[in-house]
Structures are given as structure tokens and as C-alpha cells.
Amino acid sequence: MICPVCKTAMIVTEYKDIEVDYCCDCAGIWFDSGELSLLFEKLEPGFKIDMANLFKKPSGQIPELPRKCPICRKKMEKVIAAGDNHHPIVIDSCAEDGLWFDKGELENITRIIVKAMPQDTGKIISYIQDAFSFEKKDN
């Protein structure tokens, strides 16, 4: 699979039986459709992400350049995954094939989701940090 940002080959990486595509050059991460939900459910059994309501369409223009889906090569849609109006976290979404996270976006979004969850979900943050060598921060 070719990275939608830097156009280099990505690697398939598996960590604790969860597989994702990772770009070694820009540290971007690709989740095939449904894989993000599976990640959260596997690490926190019984937890479900309402993917339909998790991502919102931006109300205005996004200054990021459009990207093509690494699978179907169609232009991906920019969606707001988390954050507030002043600091939104924008990711790229292909409705059919999956989600693209630029470096750091997955960790930031995960922290926001975890804070909203009723149970302790340190396993999710630990997985993201360990799998992608993110700097450890206080949960």
C-alpha cells in the first residue's frame, strides 16, 4: 500500500494481534474500514465506538491538501474526529475503505475518546503509545 501523504510504500505492522498499515517516513497510520472499532473492542471488551457519530463534517474549508485513498485512489473526505472549534483534529476518511491518521492524530483522538469513557481504559492508550512509539504522557 502506498502512503497518501509521502507516496512511499507503507508496512503492515501487527502488535498484540492487531494489524494496521504504517508509513515509516511520515508516521501516518491507515485503518481499513472497521479496524478502529475492532482495536477498541479488542482492548476493552464490550466497548463500542459509534463510528457514525464519531466523525463530523467540517462547517468550513480545511486548509489541508486533499488526499487519495490508498486503496481505491479516490479523493478522501476531511472529517473532524475530535477537538474543539478552535483546535479540531481533522483526519481523512474514505467511506468505503478506511481512515488515515497523520502523525500524532490517532494518539490525540484516542485520549479524547478515553476521557469520555466511564471505565479505566489505560490499555488503549498504552497500546497506541507502545505500538507506534509515541512519547509516554500521563493518562
The answer, yes or no, to whether residue 92 has pLDDT greater than 80, is yes
Share of the chain above pLDDT 70, in %: 72
Mapped onto helix, strand or coil, the DSSP state of residue 125 is helix
pTM: 0.79
Residue 64 maps to a domain = yes
The answer, yes or no, to whether residue 52 has pLDDT greater than 90, is no
Residue 104 maps to a domain = yes
Residue 3 maps to a domain = no
pLDDT of residue 94: 94
> How many independent structural domains does the chain possess?
1
The answer, yes or no, to whether residue 136 has pLDDT greater than 60, is no
Residue 18 maps to a domain = yes
Residue 4 maps to a domain = no
Q: Which domain holds residue 15?
A: 11-132
Residue 137 maps to a domain = no
- Between 67 and 107, name the one with better pLDDT: 67
C-beta of residue 127 within 8 angstroms of C-beta of residue 31: no
Residue 138 maps to a domain = no
Instruction: Determine the average pLDDT of the residues in 74-83.
Output: 86
